[in-house]
Amino acid sequence: MAMSYDRAITVFSPDGHLFQVEYAQEAVKKGSTAVGVRGKNVVVLGVEKKTVAKLQDDRTVRKICALDDNVFMAFAGLTADARIVVNRARVECQSHRLTVEDPVTVEYITRFISSIKQRYTQSSGRRPFGISSLIVGFDFDGTPHLYQTDPSGTYHAWKANAIGRSAKTVREFLEKNYKEEHMESDTDTIKLAIRALLEVVQSGGKNIELAIMKRDESMKILVQEEIEEYVTAIEKEKEEAEKQKKKT
């Protein structure tokens, strides 16, 4: 039984598990879905918007946060843990600019965030951060990047990935539908992210929030009308594809 090996996270179980870290990954699955796609000239992060209470200001429920002018991220999991990580990352971005006079590379800030997370898996009396994050942006040489971090402190670069509630379904959709040649077009990259989210989001476009960043531009959060335009275009394409299928 796992019970006696998950009380202090510094203890390995006999079969090599760190149960607190694995339980933290379960906490991530309780957050709503976030998807990231890396195009050639644009990087896209899409999230499932949570329904807010009637009296709650929905501008304060943000899943996508800018870390600097060239990097932004989305997270899934415990809201409060995310706030701490985002704040530390933002401070580090400015500290890096002051010290080195250059903006951070996406990999640098991802490594910084992952190191914080790993430190919390090896200290006594602390629990791991219950969030996974998707970090996207452009380096100063113009290369786009998408990284994913998880509560254990590992990070990997991805072409497209999803985290949160139905991440598995979305990832399978991305694996089936990701085409390298489509990533040259900004519209197709954005459409792929929206299509992936539509697989798992209830009631379509109005529960989706999307942020994009084009090379040498700052992050832009799309307004509802723009998202609806993409959704309409996607639905039209789906209808055409089904008509084609019926003909053959």
| Residue 75 binds other proteins, judged by CB under 8 A | yes
Q: Which two tokens stand for residue 163?
A: 């985290």
Min separation Cβ 162 and other proteins, Å = 13
Min separation Cβ 198 and other proteins, Å = 17
Q: Which two tokens stand for residue 99?
A: 């010290």
Q: Which two tokens stand for residue 165?
A: 């509630």
Number of residues that bind other proteins (CB under 8 A): 21
Per-residue interface string for the shown chain with other proteins, residues 213-232, x marking contact by CB under 8 A: --------------------
Long-range contacts of 108-116 (CB under 8 A, 24+ apart): 109/67, 109/68, 109/71, 109/135, 110/135, 110/147, 110/149, 110/155, 111/155, 112/88, 113/85, 113/88, 113/89, 113/149, 113/155, 114/149, 114/153, 114/154, 114/155, 115/153, 116/85, 116/88, 116/153
Q: What is the CA radius of gyration of the chain?
A: 19
Of these, 78, 104, 210, 227, which contacts other proteins (CB under 8 A)? 78
Find out whether 210 and 46 touch, Cβ atoms under 8 Å.
Answer: yes
Of these, 33, 42, 45, 63, which contacts other proteins (CB under 8 A)? 63
| 5 contact partners, CB below 8 Å, separation of at least 6 | 11, 12, 13, 14, 17, 19
| Residue 98 binds other proteins, judged by CB under 8 A | no
Of these, 6, 41, 50, 188, which contacts other proteins (CB under 8 A)? 50
Of these, 61, 116, 157, 234, which contacts other proteins (CB under 8 A)? 61
Instruction: Give the separation between CA 61 and CA 78, rounded to whole angstroms.
Output: 12
Min separation Cβ 166 and other proteins, Å = 8
Min separation Cβ 208 and other proteins, Å = 15
| Residue 111 binds other proteins, judged by CB under 8 A | no
| Residue 29 binds other proteins, judged by CB under 8 A | yes
Instruction: Give the separation between CA 33 and CA 28, rounded to whole angstroms.
Output: 10
| Residue 51 binds other proteins, judged by CB under 8 A | yes
Min separation Cβ 197 and other proteins, Å = 15
Of these, 31, 128, 137, 153, which contacts other proteins (CB under 8 A)? 31
Q: Helix, strand, or coil here: 60?
A: helix
The residue (of 203 and 248) whose beta carbon lies closer to other proteins is: 203
Contact positions toward other proteins, by CB under 8 A?
1, 27, 29-32, 50-53, 61, 63, 75-80, 82, 168-169
